[in-house]
Amino acid sequence: MFDDFLLETVRLPDATLRDRHGGQGTPVLLLHGHPRTHATWNLVAPLLARHHTVICPDLRGFGKSSIPADTPDHAGSSKRAKANDCVALMRYLGHERFAVIGHDRGSYTAFRLAMDHPDNVTQLGILDAVPIVEALDRCDSTFANRWWHWFFFGQPEKPERAILADPDAWYGGSPALMGEEAYLDYRTAIHDPATVHGMVEDYRAGLGIDRRHDEEDRRAGRRVSCPTLILWSLRDDLELLYGDVLSVWEPWTTKLWGRGLDCGHHMPEEAPLELANEILAFLSEC
């Protein structure tokens, strides 16, 4: 897994992140979703590393990175805090400007990176997501039925107790899909009570402080200033919920591309070659 990539743990000003990096060329930061670790990229990262330096961290609260301290506003788990970690990590590795690609919950940190740090982000890729404020503002019975976990995870204590009663049944996953090493890494994470709490806190932040940050940007008329690629899974819920996914992103971006991929939600694992080719084409053309 991740041949010729270096695995290390980096102590940053506000967090400690585990990351892998390898390859040569312009830098690309890959951010995983829930409940995965950086290992979800193990099939995609080597393909990108033929042309780019690729950096894959565990976000704070996930995998083997540090768990934020609990506060009433969940600020330590906010996408702003995680975006700040990413900038610090990339500076530590010698990269002041870089592309960022985020999947699922990682896409919200990628989006926040582009909004808060426009001088650092050269290109933005979003996989299977719309802005948090858009999802919550458009919430209806279909969203509540399909994505009920957003609101369950927002409750105190009970989500962790439910997940930890049987993490394998709750989250699923298999070595056949993920690869043996990636599956073991993921399984270690979902069986660790501290990590499960950190992952759930990401959702609690989403319903509060992250939504407020999006609302502040919208009121101020701020947009992503770099080229933006939106990809979504045709076998998941985004088209069902929003119809034209790109139309949701248009008010938030200035240069927009995107399409659906014929796969399920875990795109880096289910369609790694197609996804890598889409990312490479985007990075080379924009």
Domain that holds residue 203: 6-285
Query: Has residue 22 been placed in a domain?
Result: yes
What CATH number is attached to the domain comprising 74?
3.40.50.1820
Query: Has residue 255 been placed in a domain?
Result: yes
Tokens read off for 95: 């990269």
Say if pTM beats, i.e. exceeds, 0.85: yes
Query: Has residue 1 been placed in a domain?
Result: no
pLDDT at 84 over 90: yes
* Nearest residue to 27 (alpha-carbon basis) of 105, 108, 92: 92
Q: What is the mean pLDDT of residues 73-98?
A: 98
Q: What is the mean pLDDT of residues 27-54?
A: 98
The pLDDT assigned to 286 comes to 85
Domain total of the chain: 1
Q: Which residue numbers are catalytic?
A: 104, 265
pLDDT tens by residue, 206-251 = 999 999 999 999 999 999 999 999 999 999 999 999 999 999 999 9
Measure the CA–CA gap between 17 and 20, rounded to whole angstroms.
10
For 127, residues 6+ apart whose C-beta sits below 8 A from its C-beta are 101, 102, 103, 104, 107, 231, 232, 267, 268, 275
